Amino acid sequence: MSSIHVEVVCAFPDVQKVVSLECDPGITLQQALSKSRILDHFPELNLDEIQYGVHGLRQSPDFVLSDNDRVEIYRPLFLSPTEARRLRAESRDRKK
């Protein structure tokens, strides 16, 4: 049986981690996360609040991975995109 290549990634503004894995076909997203042990590097993440995706599309933990899939861990946002835009606009207005 041949293996498949999968990457598991997690990023914060100051640190990023990428773990490459060779896995058996049929591995699920949850199994790849466990095998990668990537969450050990980010103890501040609350497992009840994070979401996961593959190539930018949210997926459930039981999603079956394919060769060359990139599993992404989505951390909670500190600001909503709308709030971030509002703050940037206010900052630009103050500089004028």
Picking from 82, 79, 69, 73, the residue whose alpha carbon sits closest to that of residue 12 is: 73
pLDDT of residue 1: 59
The model scores a pTM over 0.85: no
For 22-62, what is each residue's pLDDT tens digit? 999 999 999 999 999 998 988 888 777 889 999 999 999 99
Contact 42, 67 (CB under 8 A): no
How confident is residue 81, by pLDDT bands cut at 50, 70 and 90? confident
Which range of residues forms the domain containing residue 50?
4-95
Mean pLDDT of the chain: 88
Distance of CA 63 to the CA centre of its chain: 14
Burial class (CB in 10 A: 0-12, 13-18, 19+), 29: buried
CATH number of the domain that residue 73 is part of = 3.10.20.30
